[in-house]
Amino acid sequence: MKILVIGAGVAGLFFANFMDCGELTILEKNEFSGRKLLASGNGRCNFTNLNFSYDFYKSENEDFFKYALDNFTNYDLIKYLNDIGIATTNLPSGRCYPKTMSSKTIRDALYNSSKENAKFIFNQEVEAIDFSKKEVVTNEKSYAYDKLVFATGGKSLANSGSDGKIFALIRNEIPLTKMTYGITNFESKEKFSKKTKGTRITGKASLFVEGKFIKSSIDDIIFQDYGLTGTAILDISNDLSLALRDKKKASVEVDFYPEKTYDEFYDFLEKIRNNFPNKSLYDLLIGIINEKLIGDVIKLLELSPKKKLCELKTYDLKKLVKTLKNLSFEITKIHDCENAQLTIGGVDTKFVNPKTMESKIFPNVFFIGEILDVNGACGGYNIQWAASSAKVLADYLRSLNV
């Protein structure tokens, strides 16, 4: 039985490891496997998360991903990697990594172990697919198949080979959902000055869509001359991208002091004002925010940086608290589509069997990983999905004794 896989990325590599029977051939347009995997987690490969919930996943077919994630869990993935010789660790946040903190560790282990099961053919790009003839044509030759597996990824990080060209080849025959980019950064209507570019704080980013609170994250927030980035922004980015895709008004509120309530922060500032009445507003701000941000904050307050604290009115102090607890940015667009880490949308899962990953339109055609309309949040959830969907498919094909 000839099993042909398009794509030697993370989903393709996991499938090749799980599938130990059949005549398995993997086509890859790059000169080596796992190119996008090498870049994951800033080169450290955050492969899953101890904090697991269905809430970290989205699909237009809401229940589609549950079977695969239950069948091969985060703890199953950790054990599997340990079993093939990869030591793993996790951060207090629950994010899991190889102990080496190197994506290459996982890529090399998966590729080296899968070479026993699969034949890899590199530097060949798929140019046509004939589902009726069961034939795939590349830039060099054609390949017949009995089972065809799409493990191509989506359209994010195009320079890794995941450029979305596969969607153009299949869109007339395979239903697709509307697509956009996830785990990325954003441009905002309100911008801080160039002086603040790259300034990092630890705060809370809260997403509001059409005025309704959606979700929040406490982590790094980085101010850029175009808008906002940082881990907290990446954590809420999928929901933010979906709002922009659907042309809904979206804003992010930044809280510099999530550990304090509004009243606690006011009391904190009032105490400083009472203890140091002759201190200037500028000097007050030096102690509570990054100095690079002071000029922009003072501009928002519409006060003189030299104004003495004893001269601040209760209204001024309340405005300062509101500014640092509820600094709002209206989001206008995705800033960097080319380097977004995830494709939101893809093959419509209403037409795919969740227990086999087989197309309901074309028998013997399967989809795994990012090409499907399943998107996970930032934090290792998408590599988990690639592994879980690959395991479901491998288990199904092995049950057929292919």
SS (H, E, C) 371-391: HECCEECCCCHHHHHHHHHHH
* One CATH from 1.10.8.50, 1.10.357.10, 3.40.50.300, 3.40.50.10320 for 185-335: 1.10.8.50
Integer-rounded Cα Rg, in Å, for the chain is 25
pLDDT in tens, 141-154: 999 999 999 999 99
Give me the phi and psi of 222, to 5 degrees please: -115, 125
pLDDT in tens, 238-253: 999 999 999 999 999 9
Q: Which residues contact 109 (CB under 8 A, 6 or more apart)?
A: 81, 84, 85, 86
Cα–Cα nearest to 266, from 253, 274, 127: 274
Q: Which residues contact 246 (CB under 8 A, 6 or more apart)?
A: none
Rounded Cα–Cα distance for residues 124 and 137 (Å): 9
| Residue 88 vs residues 1, 15, 75: alpha-carbon distances, Å | 35, 20, 11
Q: Yes or no: is domain 2-181+343-399 CATH 3.50.50.60?
A: yes
Characterize the bridge pairing of strands 227-229 and 212-223. antiparallel
Q: Which residues contact 363 (CB under 8 A, 6 or more apart)?
A: none
**Full pLDDT tens readout for the chain, 402 residues:** 899 999 999 999 999 999 987 799 999 999 999 999 998 888 999 999 999 999 999 999 989 999 999 999 999 999 999 999 999 999 999 999 999 999 999 999 999 999 888 999 999 999 999 999 999 999 999 999 999 999 999 998 777 777 889 999 999 999 999 999 999 999 999 989 999 999 999 999 999 999 999 999 999 999 999 999 999 999 999 999 999 999 999 999 999 999 999 999 999 999 999 999 999 999 999 999 999 999 999 999 999 999 999 999 999 999 999 999 999 999 999 998 988 999 999 999 999 999 999 999 999 999 999 999 999 999 999 999 999 999 999 999 999 976
**Which sequence spans correspond to the domains of the chain?**
2-181+343-399, 185-335
Q: Which residues contact 208 (CB under 8 A, 6 or more apart)?
A: 214, 250, 251, 252, 253
Cα–Cα nearest to 389, from 68, 152, 60, 59: 68
Residue 160: per-residue pLDDT: 72
Q: Letter for the amino acid at 305?
A: P
Cα–Cα nearest to 240, from 158, 192, 184, 198: 184
Residue 402: per-residue pLDDT: 62
Angle formed by the axes of helices 103-114 and 35-43, to 10°? 150
Instruction: Give one word for 349, left, alpha or beta, with left for phi > 0 and alpha for psi -120 to 50.
Output: alpha
State the burial class of residue 91 (Cβ atoms within 10 Å of its Cβ: 0-12, 13-18, 19+): exposed
pLDDT in tens, 147-175: 999 999 999 877 777 788 999 999 999 99
C-beta separation of 15 from 394 below 8 A: yes
CB atoms within 10 A of CB 258: 17
Residue 339: per-residue pLDDT: 86
On the CB side of 315, how many CA atoms lie within 13 Å of its CA? Answer: 3
Rounded Cα–Cα distance for residues 315 and 329 (Å): 22
Give me the phi and psi of 303, to 5 degrees please: -130, 160
| Residue 3 vs residues 13, 24, 41, 371, 372: alpha-carbon distances, Å | 14, 5, 31, 18, 19
Residue 245: per-residue pLDDT: 95
